[in-house]
Amino acid sequence: MQKITIIEEASSDKPFFVISKPKGLPSAPLSSTDFDNALYQLICSFPQLKNVSGKKDIEYGLLHRLDTETEGLLLVAANQSFYDFMQIEQKEGRFLKTYQAQCEKDLDNSIKLEAFPPREEILLGRENQISSYFRNYGQGFKSVRPVTEKSGKAALKKIGNKKIYTTKIIINKNFQAKCTISQGYRHQVRCHLAWTGFPIFGDKLYNASYKNDQELKFKATELSFSNPIKNLREIYTLS
What is the reported pLDDT for 157? 85
pLDDT of residue 152: 82
Given a cut of 80, whether residue 106 has pLDDT beyond it is yes
Does residue 165 carry a pLDDT above 80? yes
Q: How confident is the model at residue 134 (pLDDT cuts 50, 70, 90)?
A: very high
pLDDT above 80: residue 161: no
Q: What is the pLDDT of residues 175-195, one digit of tens each?
A: 999 999 999 999 999 999 999
The C-alpha angle with vertex 239 and arms to 196 and 218, in degrees rounded to 5, equals 30
Q: What is the pLDDT of residues 190-225, one digit of tens each?
A: 999 999 999 999 999 999 999 999 999 999 999 999
* CA dist., res. 138 & res. 206, Å (int): 12
Q: Read off the pLDDT of each residue in 21-41 and give the average, rounded to a whole number.
A: 95
Residue 91 predicted with pLDDT over 90:
yes
Nearest Cα to 187, choosing from 107, 91, 70, 76? 70
pLDDT in the model for residue 179: 98
pLDDT at position 153 over 90:
no
Q: Residue 4's pLDDT is what?
A: 98
**pLDDT computed for residue 29 by the predictor:** 95
| pLDDT for residue 19 | 98
What separation in angstroms does the CA of 38 have from each of 14, 15, 59, 192, 196? 20, 18, 11, 26, 31
When the pLDDT of each residue in the chain is averaged and rounded to a whole number, the result is 96
Contacts of 117 (CB under 8 A, 6+ apart): 132, 146, 147, 148, 150, 151, 155, 195
158 — pLDDT class (breaks 50, 70, 90)? confident
pLDDT band for position 66 (cuts 50, 70, 90): very high
Q: What pLDDT score was predicted for residue 160?
A: 75
Q: pLDDT > 70: what percent of the chain?
A: 100
The DSSP H or E segment spanning 219 is: strand 218-227
